[in-house]
Chain A
């Protein structure tokens, strides 16, 4: 395994990290895991639009985020996650 200085897509065939996908692919589900937890991420169609479903199988918890919520996350500082975890570490 060579070192990867930049993050890379799990499915590189659909483009680079910062390339806007044009074929509507990558529906998921995608598993994001480390030694502390794992989550399943997938695109979910609603009647009139779509959301990103983040599901924690071990906890059984789930959140459905729309484009505005995800856009909002994209410009937050990492400390927001720290703050959320400190408020509720998930016992």
Chain B
């Protein structure tokens, strides 16, 4: 694989790798055709990539179409209730089978020559089979190209590398933190409707980094939220909290703490009690101290939970957003943004959480607009010629000692305002790009 890549780029990547260890990362990585191409070849074709939440395809025949790298994938619930993922391409002449992003079908029929497949991917129907193929076509040999899938707590991931380790190994303990978003209450979480989905002139990596725990930007980029009473944090204490990362695996989460914020504040009391019952004692201890939890599953899936006030000054409502950054070119991506709610919560709370989510996130969300305004400008600058040899500093927390008393897994440091998670994220990214995963 390395032979097809420009030798100087490989050398350059080794330099980038060394720079990350020393607290530097190059600006050009956020808008560069060669790096984009390498990410397609070496990262998205080998990592476990998020496809869908199980609650998006609850009934037999339900399907959604998603991407892994530049591959369009059908994720379907088969007639027998299991989940199957296949490349969205007819094996006859390569036409896209499912053109709708979501639907329900027991069988998929190609609109070009009519080849028909079970929703699990087997080819079953071929027009003019006898007259045209005269017995030479064996349907068993021409099923859809299958994608390896596995799931954790409702999240369905796919992996194009048959030799990659299991999803459990890939997540490597990050599940402890993911449970905060995914095991809310006795029945877990579900999506509140289909995702908001739009194209942004932003590199996917900027979002992945920001959501790996960038508490640093919040009091500046979103200062109106503090000043107008929508967001229950204060500039004077906002740096408090932790940065937790899984060393070597790229996953990271920022855990923001506010001294006077009540444990599990922003949830209805009965829901908070059910949530506590579904967590381990260590999880309850960690999550009790958290106002904001913002984390990235390497490479491009993120979550955020925080309280947001529907009426300024009133107590906030906690919501969860899950987001997927699908790269479609250097410095260009498709954004998928969901609201996750606890399945067994009251409809009243689900609707309030969704309102809080839409006020802050989604295409018209206030925090979202703050962020994309900045991220689009970062992306544009990263693609300019003068930036080719410009690095950014990633030196916050270089000397931080691990918080040994923290009950959660991974490398955990204080304060919340930290670059430790980002160095781990870019280090893992560089491992994939140099082909050493």
Interfacial residues, chain A to chain B (CB-CB below 8 A): 1-7, 34-37, 78, 81-82, 85-86, 88-91
Contacts and interface: CB of A to CB of B under 8 A. Distances in A.
B80 A5 contact: no
Given A4-B59, A36-B108, A86-B124, A78 B79 contact: yes
Contact of A85 (B103, B107, B192): B107
Interface string B29-57: 00000000000000000000000000110
Given A36-B105, A78-B80, A81-B107, A89 B55 contact: no
Given A3-B193, A78-B80, A85 B116 contact: yes
B58 interface: yes
**Which residue among A35, A37, A88 has the maximum number of chain B CB atoms within 10 Å of its CB?**
A35
B217 interface: no
B78 to A, nearest CB: 9
A35 B99 contact: yes
Interface string B187-202: 0001111100000000
Contacts of A82: 106-107, 118, 124
A35 B105 contact: yes
Contacts of A34: 100, 103-105
The secondary-structure label for the interface of chain B is: loop
Nearest 9 pairs of A and B residues by beta carbon: A89-B125, A91-B127, A78-B79, A35-B100, A86-B124, A5-B58, A85-B125, A36-B109, A1-B193
A78 B124 CA distance: 13
Contacts of B98: 35
22 contacts: A1-B193, A2-B193, A2-B350, A3-B58, A3-B193, A4-B59, A5-B55, A5-B58, A6-B58, A34-B104, A35-B98, A35-B99, A35-B100, A36-B105, A36-B109, A37-B109, A78-B60, A78-B106, A81-B106, A85-B116, A86-B125, A89-B127
Interface of B: 55-56, 58-60, 79-80, 98-100, 103-109, 114-116, 118, 124-128, 139, 190-194, 350
B114 A35 contact: no
A7 B192 CA distance: 17
Given A86-B125, A89-B126, A3 B56 contact: yes
Q: Which of A7, A36, A81, A91 has the most CB of B within 10 A?
A: A36
A6 B59 CA distance: 7
A2 B60 CA distance: 17
Contact of B116 (A3, A6, A89): A89
Contacts of A6: 58-59
A3 B108 contact: no
A89 B114 contact: yes
B59 A7 contact: yes
Nearest to A79: B79
Contact of B58 (A4, A37, A81, A90): A4
B125 A3 contact: no
Contacts of A78: 60, 79-80, 106
